A and B are shown apart, each in its own frame.
Chain A
């Protein structure tokens, strides 16, 4: 439906982000090049402080790069933000506690002048999608952490963006809820066809969800390698099922990501194969 454009969802070229000055200077991002194709699922992984959130915030135009260019669907990041080209979700759900679940999901639509009737329909669709139809009138404090995150994701999807930006959205959830949420996210992405930039520090999560996993390292924050999960024999991210976690390609990709994170040279990685865990 949304695959008309030839522009990639995200294109970052030579991006630097430096915080502070002098002795307190932090090179949060150094010379980052990254392309996310339309409809592609890309994860950023790396230890804390390697600049994952910073990169995501630059794409979202919540922060500005010190140098370099970022375009989103061929537009400047700022223009893309103003045009609502992306939906965003964070580790904290960021739900407004005084609004009901339905009220939170419809908030972006309301702010952008969508008529009430259209809003109502869209909210019903979205609540159906995340399986929380019965909770439309509840307030966020009546929901579990996982349910709140689902509401936050529904809100991010409200305006049918072609790009989703997610910063550790499942980071505060327990392992069981987390896997269920990952399965749901795959399904949701398949239904919407949106491109996703997903920040995490869980290796299995990154591999299971992504077409490509971008590995980063800190001081200075930079990209140290990219693992193409499809090249390891996995189907495209949108077509996966829960069983993909047991496939050989999954373990191979996990091993490659792990090797990159721990600084092993890339050539060695391919040779080591499945049983390096």
Chain B
């Protein structure tokens, strides 16, 4: 009973949070100065013109209107929906690759101390390389790869870049999780006479779940951002990345339009986070960590 109430309250609070953001947007637009709020020459709050800040309902309404003024153009919603699914698919591919790579890295690092010392600095360093720098590299190296007649596509490049962002939190989180069991637990496994492999299955992997779930969620968010940004860097059409750029051009005549793909990006981020939430639900027993005394 109490649990249902907690759930219910979380939903209510979430809705209130969204409503608060929408309300403050429209309130500021209605009451704020036309030129925005400036301190010296620095604008700290945006202009409130229809161009800079369309009404929230206009942005919503825009979804129901045709994308372009051309005859027979589909409505904006279905266009953004298609692009969102395209990007989400690439992000999911990238996430999957990133998770596999991250878990494998964590596994060898937890098994061999020396590999951890050698590898971990590189893992951390990898994330300081800017995306725009790796995009051309991935494309060039990818085009040199040919596995079983599969020709490297721009989609593959985008997925790999998304994976490049996603593997990092997974590797770090899984490593912490695999190393989390207490000395007593490890002694016990040794007393049971089981080796590294079965200790991994019996103790280390289940114990790593509380560390892994947040890492997977972080990885999913990184994969979504990675996919959208990589679409721009690689120049891949069909996803939200290019759509953001294309629609920005329309801003002067159709100020609500550029917001559509941004909402699309928010939506697929939520879908990704929700999927991890479901995974967490399935793994619920393993999230118990406390042995209360």
Please tell me if B146 contacts chain A, counting CB pairs below 8 Å: no
- Chain B nearest CB: distance from A63 CB in Å? 9
Which among B9-17, B79-87, B190-198 touches the partner chain? Answer: B190-198
Does the CB pair A62–B293 fall under 8 Å?
A: no
Task: Give chain A residues whose Cβ lies under 8 Å from the Cβ of B198.
Answer: 111
| Contact call B194/A111, Cβ cutoff below 8 A | yes
Q: What distance in Å separates the Cβ of A154 from its nearest Cβ neighbour in chain B? A: 14
Main secondary structure of the interface of B (DSSP, over half): helix
Could you tell me the distance between the alpha carbons of A112 and B285 in the complex, rounded to whole angstroms? 23
**Contact of A62 with B291 in the complex, beta carbons under 8 Å:** no
B285, B288, B293: which has the most chain A beta carbons within 10 Å? B293
> Judging by beta carbons under 8 Å apart, are B191 and A81 in contact?
yes
The 8 A CB mask of B255-293 against A (1 = contact, 0 = none) is 000000000000000000000000000000111111111
Q: Check A88 for interface membership: any CB of B closer than 8 A.
A: yes
Nearest-neighbour CB distance to chain B for A100, whole angstroms, equals: 9
Task: List residues of B (203-259) whose CB comes within 8 Å of A's CBs.
Answer: 203, 206, 209
- The verdict on B127 contacting chain A, using a C-beta distance below 8 Å, is no
- In the complex, chain A residues whose CB is within 8 Å of the CB of B288: 97-98, 139-141
Given contacts A62-B190, A141-B288, contact A94 B206 (CB under 8 A): no
**7 closest pairs, A vs B, by CB?**
A94-B184, A97-B288, A145-B293, A92-B184, A98-B286, A98-B285, A82-B193
28 residue pairs of the A-B complex, CB under 8 angstroms, read A57-B187, A61-B190, A62-B187, A62-B190, A81-B193, A82-B193, A90-B188, A92-B182, A92-B184, A94-B184, A94-B185, A94-B187, A94-B188, A95-B291, A96-B203, A97-B289, A97-B291, A99-B285, A111-B198, A139-B285, A140-B288, A140-B292, A141-B288, A141-B290, A143-B292, A145-B292, A148-B291, A172-B293
- B192–A140 contact, CB under 8 A? no
Count A-B pairs with CB separation below 8 Å: 66
Known: A97-B288, A98-B206. 9 other contacts (CB 8 A): A94-B182, A94-B187, A96-B185, A96-B206, A98-B285, A98-B288, A99-B285, A140-B292, A143-B292
Cβ of A95: which chain B residues have Cβ within 8 Å of it? 291
Which of A86, A90, A92, A97 lies in contact with B290, CB distance below 8 A?
A97
Q: How large is the interface on B (under 10, 10 to 19, 20 to 34, 35 or more residues)?
A: 20 to 34
With a cutoff of 8 Å between Cβ atoms, the chain A residues found around residue B287 in the complex are 98
Query: Is B35's CB within 8 Å of the partner chain A?
Result: no
Q: Answer whether residue B126 sits at the interface, using C-beta atoms and an 8 A cutoff.
A: no
Question: A86 to nearest B CB, angstroms?
Answer: 8
